[in-house]
Structure 1
């Protein structure tokens, strides 16, 4: 069942299914349960399940066969090493910090411009 943690439901489904695939409980070539079955299992709508499957396809973990279903990919991508993930996280956090600083600077500049154009009466 999907929990109300603030994380989108489809990503929670992706997390659980990808973990099962990587752990081997969903072996290569195994069919995923139907959209209806997954919807019932996670207590979500079909559109949420479809969004999760779309992410799994993008990650290369599953492949769809028209009229047959969705199957675990025969060649699942290797899990990224933690060090690489940590480096990526550090880079993202650095970029976010730069963006925050730029936004603060723009906010300060906008406030100064507004003060110059629209002086407040004394």
Structure 2
């Protein structure tokens, strides 16, 4: 059960940081606070904060290098489809655009479901 508690904390941290980025409180090109400062903010261990940052890195919202602060690279609503090779100058195909839009909808749905599961876990923890 302890691992479920840790998972919930890092997911919540990732969700809150994602909301900060989406709202522009952490703009593209700006560094995030240090892991220590984020740990203080969320009352979490450094490893938990690092796990939350890993989620954001996988989503392409931040980039990190060892010894330097994580940098915001994109806002969630600004995520664009990957660039097509130069020889396809006419742009993405209609099928690609449709699939990309569906992928974005799925990502948002999964984010909402994760939040709902965390709420259920919180409500049923002491039953």
1:84 to 105, 115, 121: 105
CA contact 2:6–2:48 (8 Å) conserved in 1: no
Q: CA deviation at 1:76?
A: 3.7
TM-score normalised according to structure 2 size: 0.55
Q: CA deviation at 1:67?
A: 2.3
Residue 17 in 1 paired to residue 38 in 2?
Answer: no
Alpha-carbon distance between aligned partners in 2 of 1:26 and 1:11, rounded to the nearest angstrom: 18
Structure 1 equivalent of residue 43 of structure 2: 43
Q: CA deviation at 1:54?
A: 0.3
Query: Which runs of 4 or more aligned residues in structure 1 lie more than 4 Å from their structure 2 counterparts after TM superposition?
Result: none
Alpha-carbon distance between aligned partners in 1 of 2:40 and 2:30, rounded to the nearest angstrom: 19
Instruction: Call closer, same or farther: CA 1:48–1:84 in 2, change over 3 Å.
Output: same
Deviation string 1:58-103 (CA, Å, 9 cap, x unpaired) is 0000001332210101x4453678x9349x66xx9xxxxxxxxxxx
- Secondary structure of the 2:64 match is strand
Alpha-carbon distance between aligned partners in 2 of 1:6 and 1:34, rounded to the nearest angstrom: 20
Give the length in aligned residue pairs: 84
TM-score normalised according to structure 1 size: 0.57
Instruction: Call closer, same or farther: CA 1:6–1:46 in 2, change over 3 Å.
Output: closer
Alpha-carbon distance between aligned partners in 1 of 2:31 and 2:6, rounded to the nearest angstrom: 29
Deviates more, 1:62-71 or 1:10-19: 62-71
Alpha-carbon distance between aligned partners in 1 of 2:53 and 2:19, rounded to the nearest angstrom: 14
CA contact 2:35–2:50 (8 Å) conserved in 1: yes
Structure 2 equivalent of residue 96 of structure 1: none
Alpha-carbon distance between aligned partners in 2 of 1:42 and 1:66, rounded to the nearest angstrom: 22
Structure 2 equivalent of residue 109 of structure 1: none
- Secondary structure of the 2:71 match is strand
Alpha-carbon distance between aligned partners in 2 of 1:46 and 1:25, rounded to the nearest angstrom: 22
